[in-house]
Amino acid sequence: MDFQAYNKILICDDEIVNVRVDSVTIGYEFKIKYPSYRGVFLSCIEALDFYVDGRKLDESTIFFYLNGKQFLLGELSELFKEYWFISDKATIRVIDPNGIAPGSHEVRVFMRHRVPYTGYFGEYLVLDSDESKTLAVSDRQEVSP
């Protein structure tokens, strides 16, 4: 049951933001943190799923932003040199020309992740972090991609 309390930091309280380029909406985004006491390389993430209002998002519509870069979820498991500092928020951008409706939405994040130093007798501890949080949509009109 180690690590369980860290799941509380997985979904950040930041509002959901509709992302616009000039006046054109290209999607919306929210923020997550790595649910542990320490940072890791992204390659330790074995699965990452997102649900908004109960609907699972198509992974081909999701970009993961960290360290000034944009990743596809399918790339994460190979990023053994991309470090996720424990205090840094990753931005999850959902590509959707309609953006997200104003108001509040329930965001659920499921992350399966490997604790890379735990192979005391060969097996790594693999954790399932599964959190939900209701987030408000920001009124902000202009956001940089």
Partner 1 sequence: MKQHKIKLGVSLYSFSTEFISDQLDLEGVLKRAGEMGYKGVEIVAAQMVPEYPYPSDEWLEYFAGLLKEYDLEPVCWSAYIDMGIRSDRDLTREEIIQYTLNDLIYAKKAGFPLVRTQHAISPEIFRAMIPWCKHLGVKLAIEMHHPHHFDVPLWQEFFAVMRGEGKGILGFVPDFSIFQHRPHQLFLNQAVELGFRPDRLAAVVDKHQAGVPKEAAIESDFSAVEREITTEIYGKFNRPARVEQLREYLDCIFYIHGKFYYLPDDRHDPCVPYEEILTTLRDGGYEGYIASEYEGHHFDAEIDSVAQLQRYVAMNNRILNEQEALT
Alpha carbon distance 98, 87 (integer Å): 31
Q: Specify the residue, 70 or 134, whose C-beta has the smaller distance to a second copy.
A: 70
Which uninterrupted H or E stretch holds 45? strand 45-52
What amino acid occupies position 20?
R
Structure tokens at 56: 């699972």
Alpha carbon distance 13, 53 (integer Å): 16
Residue 88 DSSP one-character state = P
Binding a second copy by CB under 8 A: which of 30, 50, 71, 84? 71
Alpha carbon distance 35, 6 (integer Å): 5
Out of a second copy, partner 1, none, what residue 54 binds, judged by CB under 5 to 8 A for its kind, is none
Binding mask 81-100 for a second copy (x = CB under 8 A): xx------------------
Least CB distance to a second copy at residue 23 (A): 30
Binding partner 1 by CB under 8 A: which of 54, 55, 103, 120? 120
Binding mask 93-112 for partner 1 (x = CB under 8 A): --x-x---------------
Binding partner 1 by CB under 8 A: which of 63, 112, 130, 131? 63
